[in-house]
Structure 1
Amino acid sequence: MDVSQRYREAWEGYWSATSDTPGEAIWDSDPSLTAVPHTELLLPYADASLPVVDLGCGNGTQTRYLATRFARAIGVDLSHAAIGHARRADRGGVAEFDQLDLVDADAVAALRKRIGDTNIYMRAVIHQSEPEARPAVAAAVAALVGERGRAFVVEPTPVSKDVLQQVAQGPDGPPEKLRRVLAHGLKPASATEDEVRRLLQEAGLTTLAGGATALAQTEFLPDGTRVELPSRWFVLALAEHRDGDRR
């Protein structure tokens, strides 16, 4: 299975039209607001001597931070243009970046064979994936963690769609960063909380910890308030290996 051509072209178009300027993507928030607190939630359950793979890494901002906390960090993304951004931004060569279609089971299996058990960081990937591809995205997480790996998954809830609609209805219409997302046909916050939970469970993953959070964006409301998307986070392991968590 592969993602649709429309979906692939949407992401290539988005990242090709995005500059290397940090924060130009609406979700490209500073790690202090994202990967830093997320890693603190993951590490009590994870073996940091294992690699970490950032699924849907975009321009690699979070991946580069993850490289400071884990033995090895690999960022993967569907978009070749995104991987180009990530490699250019990684001037110190602290991480690795590769193109990967998460719904391509053979490609995921090849990555798993190459690196072995791994930790996973996945921020807001299921919600914007095509509905028919979402089970394969969850299955990719399960395939990669193996016996020893742990996954941190965070997904916006449907309430986020209301937040984005509010942002879009400003006096001047959607701000530029949100306008570019919508212009490329990308549809944020289109998965329900129940669907996300079900997909993870059906992939053979069990929840070790979880809770509510908000994903900080790089866009602001007219009053200067940062846009934040209500979300839910999970720390996950393969169900048959949950007894090996590090609590």
Structure 2
Amino acid sequence: MAVTSRYRNAWEGFWREAPPEPGAVFWDAGPELTAAVHLPLFEPHLTDPGLPLVDLGCGNGTQTRFLADRFAGPVLGVDLSAAAVAHARAQGGPGPAAFRELDAVDTAAVAALHAELGDANVYMRGVLHQTDPDDRAPLAATIATLVGRRGRAFVVEPGEAAGRELGALAQGPDGPPPPLLPVLRHGIAPAAVADAAVPEYFGAAGLDVLASGDAPLATTAYTTNGSRIELPSLWLVTGRRA
């Protein structure tokens, strides 16, 4: 199984056009507003912080590089888009983070990655809601494969309310904020995923929800009055109980 060519082409087109400078992409907020906020929620549930860490849907690698400076094990950013991986490598320079392409619903490719790394911890921010509906259960199954018995995954996704807020932003009198325009133009606007469905995908994949909560998801866009746009989101830590 693999993602549709439409979906892959949309992401390739988006990342080929994305400016190289940090913060130009809608969700590319600095790690001090994103991964640094998530780590205190994630770390207490890690059974082995020394396992490899996979940043699933790494984009241009902003969060991956931050995470690589804070985990002892190898940190790997993976993304469907070759153009995103090229951005990540170009922006990273020499450093502890590595990047590669991965179709996260390609069962064979995911199994091969697990065979290479062994059990891993996983960080995934805002990927499930941007995935085609038929690919959401396979994506959860991918996380189950990667974490194995010992790993844990931190998943954060915009909530249902975020979809309504994005719709209002796109249709407002001033039009969408500039960082949101390329997302809409390439047809990868966030899809609606019911809040209750998020943990259900992971339960169906054989994983337990070990912790969950709500937190704002920072973007790089601002309202006309100058305040940063933060989307309502939900987070969870998932894995197999010992």
Q: Give TM class, smaller chain.
A: over 0.9
- Is the contact between residue 199 and residue 209 of structure 2 (CA under 8 Å) also seen in structure 1? no
Q: Provide Cα deviations, 1:94-134, integer angstroms capped at 9, x if missing partner.
A: 20101000100000000000000100000011101000011
1:164 corresponds to:
166
State the match for 2:16 in structure 1: 16
Shift of 1:189: 4.0
Count of aligned positions: 240
Aligned counterparts, 1:63-102, within 5 A? 63-70=64-71, 71-102=73-104
TM-score (norm 2): 0.97
**Superposition TM-score, scaled by structure 1 size:** 0.95
Deviating runs (4+, > 6 A) in structure 1? none
Whether the 8 Å CA contact 2:56–2:123 is kept in 1: the answer is yes
- 2:113 maps to which residue? 111
Cα distance in 1, alignment partners of residues 192 and 207 from structure 2: 22
2:215 corresponds, among 213, 216, 220, to 213
Is 1:57 matched up with 2:58? yes
Distance 1:122 1:112 in 2: 16
By how many angstroms is 1:39 displaced?
1.3
Q: Which amino acid aligns with 2:13?
A: G
Segment of structure 1 superposing worse, 30-39 or 168-177: 168-177
After superposing the two structures, state which structure 1 stretch, 165-174 or 49-58, moved more: 165-174
Shift of 1:210: 0.8
Note the C-alpha offset of 1:141: 0.4
Partner of residue 49, structure 2: 48
Deviation at 1:89, TM superposition (A): 0.9
* 2:196 partner SS: helix
Structure 1 Cα separation of the partners of residues 214 and 69 of structure 2: 25
- Percent identity over the alignment is 51
Consecutive unaligned residues of structure 2, counting only runs of 5 or more, are none
In 1, Cα distance between the equivalents of 2:214 and 2:19?
32
**1:55, 1:121 within 8 Å by CA — same for their partners in 2?**
yes
User: By how many angstroms is 1:237 displaced?
Assistant: 0.8
Aligned pairs (5 A) from 1:158-237: 158-237=160-239
Gapped regions of structure 1 (runs ≥ 5): none
Q: Deviations over 1:26-73 (max 9, x none)?
A: 000000111011111111111221111000000000000110121211
C-alpha distance in 2 between matches for 1:179 and 1:167: 11
* Secondary structure of the structure 2 residue equivalent to 1:98: strand
- CA offset at residue 169 of structure 1? 3.0
